[in-house]
Structure 1
């Protein structure tokens, strides 16, 4: 009577010495997924920093290089004025913010669209002043592959410094 099993269960389903005989493929797949996640291949690294120096200022950008669909992200821009900038304007190409939702930009700026980009004008900067700009956004689910663009610092209509930038989006 001790060798009787419920319907559908045979001797091959029974564990040996109390240990279950599992297929090692499931453990290998789980391990591979964990390695990919830990490698950062799907994002999750600290935002890389890139910088360019122009005739009047240094423009520094910290923005994600890799993001996942639906991810909330933060960008930080910094303008270090070496000389006075009477009309500091940050221009962001539309291709870079394509399929991104921008939730917050601090400090608030005089915003408009023109001359090929989103333009944000700030109060004048004296030599030695620093302006920090924080942008919070989210990757729209429709975006796949990524975006590229340019962030340019102007003094009114005069370009001072430009940074090409790319956001790679992974599922």
Structure 2
């Protein structure tokens, strides 16, 4: 990552305009995920436009999703996660609205938070049939097991994608 980009992101975090960001790992196309606090779409677009990668026309596209963190949080935890812990971004696409089994989903997700597996999770508010989870684990196989056992998968035949993520620039790890 370029020095101007690192400098910009560190400033945004210090000002409270960025919570955490980082590249996806081992993907054919270079991409990243940024988690901003609840800012207006205009403010988000303004911040994205200041990114040196955007200024140099290196960003093919960006997508803004309003994410409702219902389980866990993105603050530093006291978990006993070791240095070789990896972070994964898991997105679920559901065939129908999950509110019909919300208590079952809440129970499962809160159990994952208590076990220090789920760092944060919840639905995208602009698409009620899509959920995002940030999960910590030492290997992808564990994430596949957690994803397959989720009520989102067992009750809705949800399609899920797992991508390793390397969060940076914040006291996240």
Q: TM-score higher than 0.5 here?
A: no
Structure number with larger C-alpha Rg: 1
After TM superposition, the score normalised by the length of structure 1 is 0.27
The answer to which structure has the higher helix fraction is 2
| Structure ranking higher in strand proportion | 1
What's the TM-score once normalised by structure 2's chain length?
0.27
Higher relative contact order (CA 8 A, sep 6+): 2
